[in-house]
Chain A
Amino acid sequence: MVDIEKLREIAREIISRDDVRQLIGYRQGTYGFRARPAFVTDPGEVDKLIFSPACVNNLATYITLEERLPVPRGQEPDLRKVAVMVKGCDSRALVQQMEEKAYERERILVLGIPCTGVVDMDKVEKRFPGVLARGEIVLEGDKFLLTYDGKEEEVAKGELLADKCTRCRYPTPLVYDQLLDEEVARFADDDYADVEALEKRSAEEKWAYWEEKFSRCIRCYSCRNVCPMCYCEDCVLDRLNPQWMRRSVDVSENTAYHIARAYHLAGRCIQCGECQRVCPVDIPLMELNRKFYKDVEELYDYEPGTNAEAPPLLSTFKVDDREDFIM
């Protein structure tokens, strides 16, 4: 577990530096043990920072989300660094963003958190209704310790762990300037069981499955907005000419939206699971992303977000790529 005092001490040191503009971390949420992002610009604010299994957000999103307005003539742009706290999965988003040249490595300062897993709030809510708003949760060894209403309860780690953590290949950040704890060895692997189960179904069954899911979509675009890889300034969804998909909410347009969203993450999605977490109607978006993730690994031996020096998958090719599907 990360020592909170040590985290705050390091954060204070970093935010006091002249070349750091702000630090993005986690702080206590309004209710219960939920955590929310914190944007620290002043050394006096670092005491708010925490890290707990409730820190689910991928903070890499905020680096590219920040609007960079044109600088008035005669003024220098603010080139100070942004410091960011990342878990293993989040660090891969940074790697992938840098692979795509979204920004230079010098522009960020990475505080790596070796992570042993975060909770899935939906699973907690399902098992202990209402506890989210008034309880406390800590990870001790291989158990989650829940405290609420004066009661204590122990739950096996696997039962409340987020799905992405049960398949996590990189618990220790792949890029960091300072590591806040001892490195964590890989404790899980991905076997794509969920994707393969769906692949085996017939075409009718697959479409019946997805039609039901897509018809629920209300097109709130939360999945796009939360995604650390969706940072195009001119998004295909906002285009009016050509208008790739209409804004109306029906199965046809929703399907088009989900195809476009998933395809734009082909070879880029780093499996942080944020899209699925924020979806208000519980569409299993990760099953779409994981299909690409699996294909990319099997066909092109490429894993997004692991090597900032490699060229992005779809902007390169090999002469002997598979072509058994071509007539």
Chain B
Amino acid sequence: MAEKTDFEPNIVAFLCNWCSYAGADLAGTSRIHYPPNVRVIRVMCSGRVNPLFVMNALQQGADGVLISGCHPGDCHYMQGNYYARRRFNLMRNFLEYLGVEPERVRMSWVSASEGAKWKEVIEEVVNGVKAVGPMDMFKRRQLNW
């Protein structure tokens, strides 16, 4: 489709305060260029991210959602990312079952020193979402009374 080529997706990223947010910050301070489509929401831990956040973001107009946390074993709160991993594996599979492309719901481990990996992750997510196009399946309809 023609409109897909100039489609700029909105990606909502939930980043944990201790690793991924610092990693994204490092990418910024290191002047690494990455696609500007990502909107960052800082949370204290990836385990803080309720799976309903994903649903809500997609409903309110996000084309893709990224959850990023510390590598397993590195969680500031010891085990938050392990819980998050279980939750998102199920949520991702379930959304895929409903017909949401798996490219839209992504999860990654990015540590505070991985500014370069952050760039790669964002590029992959943005390219993946661009390939599947805008998310309009269950976007919230505005009512015009």
Contact = CB atoms under 8 A, between A and B. Distances in A.
Contacts of B85: 317, 321, 323, 326
Q: Which of A198, A248, A263, A326 has the most CB of B within 10 A?
A: A326
B96 to A, nearest CB: 8
A291 B83 contact: no
A325 B98 contact: no
Contacts of B52: 236, 244, 259-260, 263
A295 interface: yes
A291 B55 contact: no
Interface residues of A, number: 48
Interface string A203-215: 1111111110000
Interface in A75-98: none
A265 to B, nearest CB: 11
A327 B90 contact: no
B101 A203 contact: yes
A326 B79 contact: no
A314 B56 contact: no
Given A255-B138, A259-B55, A313-B86, A210 B93 contact: no
Contacts of B106: 327
B97 A291 contact: yes
A120 interface: no
Interface in B53-91: 55-56, 59, 72-73, 79, 82-83, 85-91
Contacts of B89: 295, 299, 321-323, 325
Given A199-B97, A252-B141, A314 B92 contact: no
Given A211-B137, A326-B107, A259 B90 contact: no
B87 A314 contact: yes
B54 to A, nearest CB: 9
B109 interface: yes
Given A326-B108, A327-B121, A327-B124, A300 B55 contact: no
A256 B59 contact: yes
A321 B72 CA distance: 10
Nearest to A251: B138
A260 B55 contact: yes
A252 B97 CA distance: 17
Interface of A: 195, 198-199, 203-211, 236, 244-246, 248, 250-253, 255-256, 259-260, 262-263, 266-267, 288, 291-292, 295-296, 299-300, 313-315, 317-319, 321-323, 325-327
15 contacts: A204-B99, A206-B97, A206-B98, A207-B98, A236-B52, A244-B56, A255-B59, A255-B98, A255-B137, A260-B52, A291-B97, A300-B86, A317-B82, A321-B82, A327-B124
Given A251-B141, A325-B88, 11 more contacts: A203-B96, A207-B100, A248-B143, A252-B138, A252-B139, A259-B55, A260-B52, A288-B94, A295-B89, A319-B72, A321-B82
